[in-house]
A = this chain, B = another copy of it.
């Protein structure tokens, strides 16, 4: 099935997104280079429209519906960033969006989805969400856009890598967080076609290690025990994303919860960028000087910046407390 996602599909997605999605900037930091002992290029998808990369895949997928002359509403299930992507894409393309949001979700994501004009159906949990979704999908005029297990969504996310390669052609490795694997699949397919020697790593919270287990066992291990603040990474892989990740991923980095808070705090204090917990998961391996990254040219996808201010400030406090408030700047 992974053959359905090709470079030409990513190239087509880029055409679709031209003038619609931002070409996000690369940010560099001597402090980060020093801290990680690597040369780091941050692809700032937190500056993307809706505050995350998810807008790319969502818009690309919804625009394909238009081509097929599909009318009516677009339905999805998402705790946040994909929901925002779908909501804005529908507003721009003239559809009604219906979004099932399973708890827990960030308050700002809920507000944002609503403000784009989408109808939000709150689900108590993921099981409840599946039930609510199946009722909606039965409507004949409704089209469902999966958050990640969809070739058009994956192709849209692949445009992140296409831009990154143009901005920094010689990367040794690229790191991104893994939830359902849509972004990583897009990165893998694009990188494999254009820069096959670049290594691609998935970063996953220790509290939701289903993707690593799925790739190891070559079956979709459901995300069941979920104890992470990285709200975007609480999903299992799909039958489209698993084979792509198995084929192309170099490996996984497992990240502890305290490292997530530390990475958010580092981004605040040194990088001056706001990242949500799921993004911090991809920054954390650098901050602990993961040995395989030392001395290398590393691209990091900062996937999003949609975090409630209460949680954000609690993470900053936790990070400061953990280090006794004594961190010194060590740039040289």
Interface 1/0 per residue, A293-332 and B, CB below 8 Å? 0000000000001000100110011001000000011111
Contact, CB under 8 Å: B116 / A329: yes
Which residues, 95 to 133 on A, are CB-close (under 8 Å) to B?
A: 108, 111-112, 114-116
**Is there contact, CB below 8 Å, between B115 and A329?**
yes
Given the known interface contacts A309-B268, A331-B88, the answer about A47 and B27 at a Cβ–Cβ threshold of 8 Å is yes
Closest residue of chain B to A25 (Cβ to Cβ) is B25
Q: Which of A63-71, A182-190, A230-238, A271-279 contacts B (4 or more CB under 8 A)?
A: A271-279
Q: Is A250 an interface residue (CB 8 A)?
A: no
What separation, in Å, do the CA atoms of A30 and B112 have in the docked complex? 14
- The answer to whether A46 has its CB under 8 Å from any CB of chain B is yes
How far is B114's CA from A88's CA once the two chains are assembled, in angstroms?
46
Flag whether A49 is at the interface (Cβ < 8 A): yes
Q: How far is the CB of A107 from chain B (nearest CB, A)?
A: 9
Q: Do residues B309 and A272 form an inter-chain contact, with CB atoms below 8 A?
A: no
Q: Does A224 contact B (CB under 8 A)?
A: no
Contact residues, A70-90 vs B (CB, 8 A): 88
Among A46, A91, A271: residue with most chain B CB under 10 A:
A271
Q: Is the CB of B330 within 8 A of A115?
A: yes
Residues of chain B within 8 A of A317, CB atoms compared: 309
A22 interface neighbour in B28, B88, B265, B270, Cβ under 8 Å: B28
A207 at the interface (CB under 8 A from B): no
Q: How far is the CA of A223 from the CA of B208 in the complex (A)?
A: 55
Inter-chain CA distance A34–B29, complex, in Å, is: 30
A269 to chain B, nearest CB (A): 7
Q: Which of A239-289 contact B (CB under 8 A)?
A: 265, 268-275
Q: Say yes or no: is A16 at the interface (Cβ < 8 Å to chain B).
A: no
Q: Could you tell me the distance between the alpha carbons of A317 and B313 in the complex, rounded to whole angstroms?
A: 10
A12 at the binding interface (Cβ < 8 Å): no
* Complex CA–CA separation, A274 to B305 (angstroms): 11
User: What are the residues of chain B within 8 A of A273 when measuring CB–CB?
Assistant: 47, 272-274
Most B CB contacts (10 A, CB to CB) among A108, A272, A329, A332 go to: A272
A26 within 8 A of B: yes
Q: Could you write out 27 A-B pairs with CB less than 8 Å apart? A: A22-B28, A25-B25, A27-B44, A29-B47, A30-B49, A47-B273, A51-B270, A51-B272, A88-B331, A91-B332, A111-B329, A114-B328, A115-B329, A115-B330, A116-B329, A116-B331, A265-B309, A268-B274, A268-B309, A269-B309, A272-B275, A273-B273, A309-B313, A309-B316, A309-B317, A312-B316, A313-B313
- Taking A115-B328, A313-B313 as given, write out 20 further A-B residue pairs in contact, using a Cβ cutoff of 8 Å, ordered by the A residue number: A22-B28, A25-B25, A27-B44, A29-B47, A30-B49, A44-B272, A47-B271, A47-B272, A47-B273, A51-B272, A88-B331, A111-B328, A115-B330, A116-B331, A268-B312, A269-B309, A272-B273, A272-B274, A274-B274, A309-B317
